[in-house]
Amino acid sequence: MNNIIVPVSLADRSYAIHIGQNLIADAAEHIAPLLKRPFAVIVTDANVAKAHLKNLESALAAKNIASKAIILPAGEATKSYKYLAELCDGLLAAGVERRDVVIALGGGVIGDLTGFAASILRRGVNFIQIPTSLLAQVDSSVGGKTGINSPLGKNLIGAFHQPVLVLADLDVLNTLPARQRAAGYAEIAKYGLLGDASFFEWLDKNVETIVQGGNDISATAHAVKTSCEMKARIVAEDETETGVRALLNLGHTFGHALEAACGYSDRLLHGEGVSIGMVQAFRFSEQLGHCAKGTADRVVSHLKRANLPTHSSDISGTLPPPEDLLNLMRQDKKAVGGKLTFILARSIGDAFIAKDVEDAKVLAFLKADIKS
Give yes or no for a contact between 5 and 16, defined as CB atoms under 8 angstroms apart.
yes
> What is the reported pLDDT for 333?
63
Whole-number pLDDT of residue 50: 97
Check pLDDT > 90 for residue 330.
no
The Cα 183–Cα 190 span in angstroms is 12
Q: In the predicted model, is pLDDT for residue 59 greater than 80? A: yes
Nearest CA to 188 out of 286, 264, 48, 302 is that of 302
DSSP state of 338: T
Q: Contact at 8 Å (CB) between 272 and 303?
A: no
The pLDDT assigned to 1 comes to: 72
Q: What is the structure's pLDDT at 356?
A: 82
Average pLDDT over residues 110-114: 98
pLDDT of residue 211: 96
Amino acid at 205: K
pTM for the whole structure: 0.94
What is the residue extent of each domain of the chain? Answer: 4-175, 183-371
pLDDT at position 334 over 80: no
- Would you tell me how many other CB atoms lie within 10 Å of the CB of residue 254? 30
Q: In the Cβ-directed half-sphere of 208, how many Cα atoms lie within 13 Å?
A: 3
Which residues, 6+ apart, have CB-to-CB distance to 17 below 8 Å? 5, 6, 7, 8, 141, 142, 166, 168, 228, 232
For residue 61, the surrounding DSSP H or E stretch is: helix 54-62
**What number does CATH give the domain 183-371?**
1.20.1090.10
The pLDDT, as a whole number, for residue 335 is 67
Mean pLDDT computed over 202-230: 94
- Percent of the chain predicted with pLDDT > 90: 91
- Reported as a single tens digit per residue, the pLDDT across 339-371 is 788 999 999 999 999 988 889 999 999 999 887
Confidence at residue 332, expressed as pLDDT on a 0 to 100 scale: 72
* Distance between CA atoms of residues 22 and 20, nearest Å: 7
| Main-chain phi, psi angles of 300, to 5 degrees | -60, -50
Give pLDDT tens digits for 213-222. 877 899 999 9
Tell me the CA distances in angstroms from 140 to 11, 62, 81, 343, one per residue in order: 20, 29, 19, 18
Give the span between the Cα atoms of 47 and 29, in whole angstroms: 25
Collapse the DSSP code of 150 into the 3-class scheme (helix H, G, I; strand E, B; otherwise coil) and give the result: strand
Residues marked active site are found at 123, 145, 187, 231, 241, 245, 249, 252, 256, 270
Mean pLDDT of the chain: 95
Contact 197, 348 (CB under 8 A): yes
The DSSP H or E segment spanning 204 is helix 197-212
| Percentage of the chain lying above the pLDDT 70 cut | 98
In this prediction, residues 219-247 reach a mean pLDDT of 95
Annotate 92-107 with DSSP letters as a single string: HHTT--TT-EEEEEES
Instruction: Report how far residue 257's alpha carbon sits from residue 233's, in angstroms, rounded to the nearest whole number.
Output: 28
**Span 249-262, pLDDT tens digits:** 999 999 999 999 99
Residue 372: pLDDT above 90? no
Cβ atoms of residues 272 and 262 within 8 Å: no
Tell me: the pLDDT tens digits for 119-176? 999 999 999 999 999 999 999 999 999 999 998 888 999 999 999 999 999 999 999 9
Q: Residue 366 has what pLDDT?
A: 94
Which amino acid makes up residue 21?
Q
Q: Pairing mode, if any, of strands 15-20 and 4-8?
A: antiparallel
Summarised one tens digit per residue, pLDDT across range 260-315 is 999 999 999 999 999 999 999 999 999 999 999 999 999 999 999 999 999 999 99
- Rounded to 5 degrees, what are φ and ψ at 256? -65, -35
Q: What is the pLDDT of residue 148?
A: 97
Task: Report the CATH number of the 4-175 domain.
Answer: 3.40.50.1970
